[in-house]
Structure 1
Amino acid sequence: MGKAKALVDKHEKQVDQGLDQAGDQADQRTGGKYDKQIDKGVDAAQRRTGEGDTSPR
């Protein structure tokens, strides 16, 4: 687990972008029906992988 955490910490911006893309795909596939839940899950994952969302909006 230590190596994975180090890799995530080193590439935090890319991880956040990947989580955003995954959330966008899930939202698209569900037709926006679960938008709030998906956003909440993406935000929680981003908090666990570092300082939170590093992507500009």
Structure 2
Amino acid sequence: MSDLSDKAKDFANSDKGEKATDAGLDKAAGAADKATGGGHGDQIDKAEQAADGKIGN
């Protein structure tokens, strides 16, 4: 199981993985913004940036 975890970390740290995680986070942030009617955009942006800092490069 740790081998799979290592592979996931390696992928997230690659250029292709970084693009994929950024796209996923952007999509999630857009969905959250839409669900809240745009009323919490600043908080959603901060959460997206925090998550991006923890994932990938």
* Structure 1 residue ranges, 4+ long, deviating more than 4 angstroms after superposition: none
**CA RMSD, Structure 1 to Structure 2 (Å):** 1.3
Consecutive unaligned residues of structure 1, counting only runs of 5 or more, are: 52-57
Identical positions, percent:
43
What's the TM-score once normalised by structure 2's chain length? Answer: 0.75
Aligned residue among 39, 42, 47 for 1:41: 47
Corresponding residue for residue 9 of structure 1: 13
- Cα offsets for 1:3-43 (capped at 9, x unmatched): 33112113111111110110011000110111111100000
**Aligned AA for 2:43?**
Q
Asked which structure has the greater CA Rg, the reply is 2
Consecutive unaligned residues of structure 2, counting only runs of 5 or more, are: none
22-31 or 7-16, which deviates more: 7-16
**Aligned AA for 1:35?**
G
